[in-house]
Structures are given as C-alpha cells and as structure tokens.
Chains A and B, each alone.
Chain A
Amino acid sequence: MQEFLQYLFSGMTNGAIYAVIAVGFSMLYNSTDLINFAHGEFVMLGALGLVTLWKTAGLPLPAAFILTVMGVAGAGLLFERLAIRTVSKPHPIVLVIITVGASIFLRGIAMLVWGKDSHSVPPFSQHNPIDIMGAKLLAQSVWIFCIVLSVVILLWFFYQKSLTGKAMQATAISKRAAWLTGIPAEKMVLLAFIMSTGMGAVAGIIIAPVTMCSYDMGTMLGLKGFCAAMLGGIGSLWGALIGGFLLGILEALGVGFFSSAIKDAIAFVLLLLILYFRPGGIIKSTDASRF
C-alpha cells in the first residue's frame, strides 16, 4: 500500500505537469488548428527564466513567476508575429514544420544564453514532505497540484464566462463566421498564442524545483505533453487534464510494478493505441477531425 501510494504521488506530480503542457497544446490547436512542436521549448524557457530571475537576480518568487510567464508569453507573441503570421500560404504542414524549426532555434538560443550545463532551483517552500501512510508527498507536489488546478479553473471561467473567451471559442469553431460577426479573429489567434506559451511557462516554472533545468529539457516534456493532449482528446480542456494525469500515473505504476525500462515506451504505446482505436481521444472533442 505504501509503495502504491508513493507511485501514485510520483505519477500525479509528473501527470500534473504533463497536463499543463497538454492544455497549452490543446488551446492553440483549438484556435488555430496548429500543433506547436516548439511548445516544449517554451516550457524550457519558463524553467530557465525562473532560474535567472529567482535564483540569479534574486527577485521574490511571485515577481519572478509573473515576470517569467509574461516574458515567455512575449516570446510567444513574437513567434506568432514573426514566424507564423508572415507565412503567405499557411498550409498546416508548412506551419508544423515552422514550429519544428522554431524549436531548434529556441534550443540554440537557450544554449547560448544559459550555457550547456544544467541548473537547479530550490523548492517554492521549505516544508518537510507530508507523510501519508508511509508514503511521502513533497511540498512542491502540493504546490504543483494547487497551481495546476487554479490555472485550469481560471481557464474554464475564462472560456465559459468572459466575452473574450467566448469570442475565442467562436473563432475556434469557424474563423470566417466569427469574423463575419465582428470578432477580430486575428487578434484571437494572437491571444491564443500568448496564452498557450504562457501556460508552457507555468509548466516550466512549477517543474523547475523538481528536476534539473537545461536547454534541452523541452523536447521530451513537449512530446509527453503532446501524448497527454492526444490521449485526452485534443482541443478539450478537461481531456488535457485527464490525459496528463493518466499518462503520469500509468508511467509511475509501469515503473513500479513492471520495469523502469518501459517508462518512455508507455507514453508512445498509449499514443499509438489511442490514435488507432479512438482518434478523438478519451473525451472526444466535437471537431477533432478537422485536420
């Protein structure tokens, strides 16, 4: 029982991070039909941004948190303006390849700025791990759960209650129809980019104290987040959340009860299975077949 709980905690911590990354993927896909393969790099920028602002510059944590998210969202804005908007024939494949290019570019920049070594930051608070029936729940994990939950609830309110959120959803359903009703569709796409990369930054920030941050950490996290998004049903907020947690927990249980060698295989086998049997994901988004 103690082991099972420990695997569960470990899986939920990783799962929460996959979930935030998956939400970022989903959001952008919803508004633009685009899978941003540079998303993992924005996660990396978030983590390394925190290293600089919090550990090196010595800002208080909340300020470093907000500044990092704003900075990365700003990078997302530039990315949309300079690399995506300027494409004359925005065929999905062309755009996807641009995002792959952007990910290599961002990795290169980060390597020059932060160097090739790993960096680490301390946990957000210095509490001792919480003991639940012999299993240890880290204080940082509690922080991660709280931040992920509040982010998702905020997003849900934004989509359901605010006019901008509804306008974004309308743009997602049909850009042209939204435009006809007077919604500035271009602006909505830009906003989706800003919010999605901002979410990436949040994921990077909360994971920074758990793991080591380096310029090449984004690739694997991005892929896992993408798996989680596909698993839950891309385009769906709750789907991303479920997909993330499911993936994290299955990985931890796989390591615990079978073999630690299969950890990464789990994500990709799940991805293949879901694409084969239920391409829309667990929560089938209404328009997942748009590609």
Chain B
Amino acid sequence: MLHRILKSTFIIISLMTLVFSSHVWAEETYKIGGLFSVTGRASFLGDPEKKSMEMVVDMINKNGGIDGRMLEAVIYDTEGDPTKAVMGVSKLINKDQVIAIIGPSTTPTTLAVLPFAEKSKTPIISCAAGNKITTPVNPWVFKTAQSDILAVSAIYEHMKKQNIKNIGILTVSDAFGESGRQQLEEQAASFGLTIVQADKFGGKDTDMTAQLTKIRKAEPDAIVCWGTNPGPAVIAKNIKQLDIKIPLYQSHGVASPKFIELAEEAADGIYLPTGKILVADLLPEDDIQKPVLAEYIKQYNEKYKVPVSGFGGYAYDAVNILAKALKGTGGDKEKLRQNIENMTNHTGVSGTFNFSPSEHNGLAPDAFVMVQIKNGTWELIK
C-alpha cells in the first residue's frame, strides 16, 4: 500500500514538473508545429521534411534565434492519415499552442486540417502539392510545394514542342491524383491537346496492365501518369512489358532516386517535371537558386549522411519563410500572417517565392524544369 502511494506521488510530482517546466519554456521560445507523414505510405515526403525542419530550427537557434528568442519545433506524425492529421493539429493548437504550423506533407491531410488552422487563426504553411490548398485563397493558408498547375504546364509545354496531339492519362485515385487529373483536363485545350482516354489506378494496386490496354486501344501519342510511389513504377514496368512504345510522362510526385530504383530499366526514357533540387549540379551557374540549393544539400548531407530528396526542401523553405516573417512580430499571429503574405523575392529550394493576398503559393513556372531519365540518372532538358 505504502509502495503504491509513493509511486503515485512520484508520478504526480514528475507530471507537475513537466507541466511547470514546459510553461517556463513557452515564455522564452517561439513554438512552431510540424505535421509530417513521417511513417506510412507517404513517408518519403514526411521523413525528409521532418529532418529538414529540425535542421533549419537548429541552425536558426545556433545563430541566436529570432529577436533573441529560440525556436522550438513540436512535430507530430500524421502517418499520411487525415484522421491522425486532425488529431495532431488539435494537439498543436490546443495543447502546445504553437504560433504557426508547417505541413502536413500530403494534399489529403492538408485539406483535412485547414478548417482547424483557420478557426484558431494559426498560419499554416503546407508542404503538399495539391492545387486545392491555396485556391481559393484562404488567408491563413500558404504552401511551399510547387502546384500541380505548374507541373502540368511544364509537361504540356514540352509535349507541344514534341508535336504531341492526343494523350492518355492515368491518375491515382487519391487527392493528389484527382487534383492532377483536374489540372490535366483543364489545361489540355490551351496547349492544343486532346485527352482520348482517362483512367485511374489504386495506390496499392499490383498490376495496371488492364488500364494500359484500355489506353493503348485509344491510340494516344503519349501517356501521362499522375501518382506517387510505388504505383507509377508498376505502370512504368507494365508499359515496357506490354511493349507500348509511346513516350511516358510522370508527375513531380515521383521525382526522387527511389523511383528509378523501383522501376529499374523501365524508368529509361521517362519525362517528368521536377524542382531544381534533383538536378542542382546540372544547373547553369547563373541560376539564382543554385547557391541556395548547394547550401541546403551541403547542410543536409553533413547532418544526416543521406542524399537529399526533392521533398525535404518544402519544409526547409517553409521554416525559412516563417523565420523571416516572424522577425519583429513578437509572436503575434496576425502580424506573422501579414508578413508572409507580403513577402516577395524569397529565393528558396523550390523556387523564388512572391506571395501576395491573392497568391499564397508564390511560385512561377520557372520553379520546374523538365528532366528525362537516361541510364538510371536524370538529364536536364533544355
């Protein structure tokens, strides 16, 4: 009995110390929240994003913080699941009382948490690509990942040069694929393209030959596949197996070395739009992003000893933008929001950001370059 009382006393005391100490911390630091899909299917996005966020926060703190106050990152794992993202956002807002949120990593999770950020008037900088996140503009919502609008324009621009007229599209049946499909359909006409066959595939499907057969029957000049790993790699393999000889375009969702590893020889010849990070060393010297990219890649490699992926940069940019906007606000969320909205000419990893009240992504089409996979590596298309 005595033992039990002692034990519970101990627990209560330690809990109180915990609560007390975190209260003291809150006075001195700026708490910023992170929501990333660190595990689960979209971990290829969330994992580098979490690492990048921690890296920038460390770096800022090492250089004396912001207006003398340190940053403290509170990061929760969404597992790529909208339900868990909503739980995470409530914790960040109510329990941790963060002043801003970076993330989530994917379009479905971002769309799920938006109402909460807006209700609590907390600025949120998403790392997801979906176009629906910032159109229509929500005053509290920003994003750093290149929109699929820009990715689709980059692909269509390239197709126009190749004299392609009819295309077949194959999109994954989740929010990323839906958003991509919508853009592909909306922009096709302005580039003189006709979508002759549109099909979908499930993110966990094991074989897409049925969909591809259907597309082949419609005789398009090229196929556009819109999805994130591993589905597009299966499609690349299936296309080789079915001996379909028309060009295959993939989305920026697979722009990582992992895709080449998964698709193996089938990756050869595939075109895709990507942020410049993937081809940083191939860029011309006068590219304004080149020094930023080099700095990010160097820091990341030194700290984590793993190669960078294109996705960590979204969080890197988001934290840097937030840090810049945080200066002089004293932690006022409305001021912080206005500072982000008025930020122009911020050169980041994903492009040059020019925010405005009507533009909360701030990137221009030059944020994307087209690459082709050749002999297991990327080649820049001029």
Contacts and interface: CB of A to CB of B under 8 A. Distances in A.
B39 A220 contact: no
B200 A212 contact: no
Contact of B213 (A216, A256, A263): A256
B202 A263 contact: yes
A120 B261 contact: yes
Contacts, number: 94
A129 B243 contact: yes
Contacts of A287: none
Nearest to A138: B241
Given A3-B214, A111-B39, 6 more contacts: A6-B210, A119-B262, A120-B264, A212-B233, A217-B204, A256-B213
Interface residues of A, number: 37
B67 interface: no
A207 B201 CA distance: 18
Interface of B: 39-41, 43-44, 47, 173, 199-202, 204-207, 209-211, 213-214, 217, 229-230, 233-234, 241-243, 258, 261-264
B371 to A, nearest CB: 21
A260 B214 CA distance: 10
Given A3-B214, A120-B233, A136-B243, A261 B200 contact: yes
Contacts of B234: 211-212
Contacts of A211: 205-207, 230, 234
A263 B242 CA distance: 20
A199 B207 CA distance: 21
Nearest to A212: B230
Nearest to A219: B204
Contacts of B173: 260-261
A11 interface: yes
B210 A256 contact: yes
Given A111-B39, A117-B258, A214 B230 contact: yes
A10 B207 contact: yes
Nearest to B214: A256
A246 interface: no
Contact of B40 (A11, A116, A260): A116
A7 interface: yes
A6 B209 contact: yes
Among B47, B230, B263, the most chain A Cβ lie within 10 Å of the Cβ of B230
Contacts of B264: 120, 122
A9 interface: yes
Mostly, the A contact residues are helix
B236 to A, nearest CB: 11
Contact of B229 (A118, A216, A263): A118
A274 B262 CA distance: 38
Nearest to B198: A260
Given A3-B217, A214-B230, A116 B47 contact: yes
A11 B214 CA distance: 14
A217 B209 CA distance: 19
Contacts of B210: 6-7, 10-11, 252, 255-256, 260
Contacts of A6: 209-210, 213, 242
A186 interface: no
Contacts of A30: none
Nearest to A256: B210
Contact of A13 (B200, B207, B230, B263): B207
Contact of A263 (B205, B217, B241, B261): B205
